Amino acid sequence: MDKAERRAQILAHAREVFAKRGYHAAKIDDIVAAAGVARGTFYLYFDDKRAVFEELVDHAFARLDRAFVRVDPTDATRTVAFQIQDNIERIVATLLEDRATTKILLSDAVGLDPDLDRKLLRFYEAVGTLLEESFRDGQALGVVAQGDVRIFAVLTLGAMKELFYQVVMRGLDYSEERIVAEMFAFLCHGVLRV
C-alpha cells in the first residue's frame, strides 16, 4: 500500500470515528484501531489529532464549494428560481451523501481546543460569506428581498444547519426531495401568514 493510500485509509477511518463519537470523545486509539495501523503510524501521516480533523473540514468545504453553482440569469434554459432550487438540491445531496462528514461539521467541537473551534468557525464563516454573496447577487437580480444580506445569510445558514442536524444526528426521517422542497418553500415565504 503506497503512502497516499495509507494516508487516505487513516483519514477515512478518522472520519467515521469523529462522526460516531465527536471530536473530544474520539481517541487516537479508536482511530488507529479502526484503521488497523499502529499508533505511531498515525503520526507519520498527520501532525496531530487536530490536523486530521482540520483536513476533514477542509475537504468538506471544498466539496460544498464545488456543489455550489453561481446563478446565471442569462441562461435561457433554466429560470433563476430553478437554478436556486438546483443549488439547494446539490448542497443537500452533498451533505447527505457523506453523512459522517456532515455529522462532524454539525458537532460544534466547542471547548478545550481554541484553534479547533476557530477552524469550524472559519468554515461556517466561509459558508456564510458564500451565502451572503449569493444573496447580494440575488438582490441585484431582484430575486432576493431587499435588506441586510448578512442577516439573511445567518438566518438561512442556521435554518439549514438545524434541519440537517435533526436529519443526520437525530434521525428525523425525510427524503432528500422533501428536504429540498421544505427549505425552498421556507426561504420563499417564511412560515407566518399574518
The site for DNA (CB under 7 A) is made up of 1, 3, 6, 26-29, 37-45, 48-50
Determine if 156 is a binding residue for a second copy (CB under 8 A).
Answer: yes
Query: How is residue 110 written as a grid cell?
Result: 466547542
With left for phi above 0 and alpha for psi between -120 and 50, is residue 146 left, alpha or beta?
Answer: beta
Q: Which residues contact 16 (CB under 8 A, 6 or more apart)?
A: 34, 100
Complex with DNA: residue 43 or 186, whichever CB lies closer: 43
Indicate the residue among 57 and 168 with the shorter CB distance to DNA: 57
CB 141 → DNA: shortest distance, Å? 47
For the bound state, the minimum distance from the C-beta of residue 98 to DNA, rounded and expressed in Å, comes to 23
Which grid cell is 150? 448578512
Cell 446539490, located at residue: 90
Residue 138 site contact among DNA, a second copy, none (CB < 5 to 8 Å, cut-off depends on kind): a second copy
Residue 68 near a second copy by CB under 8 A: no
Contact region with a second copy (CB under 8 A), list: 31-39, 47-55, 60-68, 150-158: 150-158
CB nearer to a second copy: give 9 or 166.
166
Spatial separation of the C-alpha atoms in residues 167 and 180, rounded to whole Å: 12
| Min dist. Cβ of residue 26 to DNA (A) | 7
Q: Which grid cell sits at 172? A: 428525523
Q: Is 144 left (phi over 0), alpha (psi -120 to 50) or beta?
A: beta
Coil/strand/helix, residue 36: coil
Which stretch in 44-52, 61-69, 93-101, 176-184 sits in contact with a second copy by CB under 8 A?
176-184
Contact 119, 26 (CB under 8 A): no
* Cell 458564500, located at residue: 130
Note the residues at the interface with a second copy (CB under 8 A). Answer: 21-25, 79-81, 84, 107-112, 121, 135, 138, 142-145, 147-148, 150-152, 154-163, 165-166, 170, 172, 174, 182-194
